[in-house]
Amino acid sequence: MRNIILLQLILLMGACSSIQKNDQSNTITTLIEKPDFNYKIRSLPSEFNLFYFHDGNNETLPLEVEGFLANAYFYNEKINYKPKIKIIQVNNTQCNQNPSDTFSIVLDIRKNEANSSNISCLKKSSKASTFYISNKRKSLKGYKYIFIASRESEKEALIDQIQDQDTRFAVLDSEETNDAKKLIKAIEAKDKKIIEIATYTQDVSSQDLFSDLMMADRSKERIRKLSRRLGSQISGESRVREDINTIFLSVGLEEARNLKPALDYISGKDFKFFLLNSWKGNEAYKTRDVDLFLTINSDMPIMMPIQLPKFIPKTKRTRDFATGYDSFEILLLIFGGVNKSDFVYKGLTGKIKLGQQQIIRDPYVFKITNEGFEIL
């Protein structure tokens, strides 16, 4: 295991490029910035346990651990901070080795909802001296340091963008997101009306889905019936319903690139589009995402078509890598003597503030236009 870890660290040791100083502006070129602090190295943990969850017998490190170690190497070179890290794999309810009696970091980036409270080796670490990182919103009572990188934050950021003129919604989820009910509840809390609900499935074409949703087929059928009654062919354009002005999609990016053009073609109308990425895959946004023009999105900066530090290869452009990377940065901010309450760290996962109870992550909201990405 040690040799595998060393090999993966070597692969991450690319030429570290300089990163701009932190700035409070929000443009496409300033979404990711390293803090510009002289950290108090003696205040940082000299050693700690690094727990990560892994299913099966796969010996490669997961991407969140790679992200954590990549940033650790950056600061190894920059400020000579070289903590002793004991990497511990958690499999089901057991750990592959016993933790040290020291500070602990838990990278709990799992795809399932398994409970970690019954893992005995985690219980040996005091919650008051444990930094817990998760990709789901969950009860983490007792932990002093908590960082949540959850899709729920992106959902809330999009809901907050709903304006007064966005009054009548069609909500579409997919089989993999299955969250239409939660979205409806959040949208109705803004005093908006839900007109239609649909779930996109692979066995129904996008054109059939929207023909039914927009009642385009009913218009064609009315024309055919009237032609039969009059005994002559009537020409006319099919009409679509007028009682929807806003579309909220909760699907993957590839599905959205199929669905939006289909609706544009069938309806011939310009709807306001909100797009909540499913997070089920790691499809990144394109520099010119023509099929997603005029959609309003919220996501982690690492998934946007912006320049990343040179030591992060394209294969690591994932949310898990970003979560691990930012977790190490947060560790430095917590213990490195930073006392600026108004400071915002612009990380790979979004804008991060150090709160009293937990670390607060604010995602970016952006609109895809002909000119590029407009940060809202």
Please list the pLDDT of the chain residue by residue as tens digits (376 residues).
Answer: 554 454 454 444 433 333 444 455 567 778 898 888 788 899 999 999 999 987 666 678 999 999 999 999 989 988 989 999 999 998 867 888 888 889 999 999 987 765 666 677 887 778 889 999 999 888 888 888 999 999 999 999 999 999 999 999 999 999 999 999 999 999 999 999 999 999 999 888 888 888 888 876 544 444 444 344 445 554 445 556 888 999 999 999 999 999 999 888 888 788 899 999 999 989 999 988 999 999 999 999 999 988 887 778 888 999 999 999 999 999 999 898 666 666 789 999 999 998 766 689 999 999 999 888 999 9
Domain that holds residue 276: 154-299
Map tokens 């947060």 to a residue: 330
One domain, residues 281 and 247: yes
Whole-angstrom Cα distance, residue 208 to residue 211?
5
Beta strands, E only, 92-144: 94-95, 103-108, 130-134
Q: Beta partners for 373?
A: 368
- The tokens describing 341, both together, are 């309450």
One domain, residues 160 and 104: no
One domain, residues 40 and 64: yes
One domain, residues 168 and 291: yes
Q: How far is CA 88 from CA 105, 120, 121, in A?
A: 10, 13, 10
Q: Tell me if 372 is assigned to some domain.
A: no
Q: The domain spanning residue 48 has which CATH number?
A: 3.40.50
Q: Tell me if 30 is assigned to some domain.
A: yes
Q: Tell me if 67 is assigned to some domain.
A: yes
How many structural domains compose the chain? 2
CA quadruple 70, 72, 75, 76: dihedral, nearest 10: -100
Q: Tell me if 59 is assigned to some domain.
A: yes
One domain, residues 122 and 95: yes
Whole-angstrom Cα distance, residue 286 to residue 306?
10
Map tokens 């909500």 to a residue: 171
One domain, residues 89 and 214: no
Final residue before a domain boundary, out of 274, 299, 324: 299
One domain, residues 231 and 291: yes
Give this prediction's pTM. Answer: 0.86
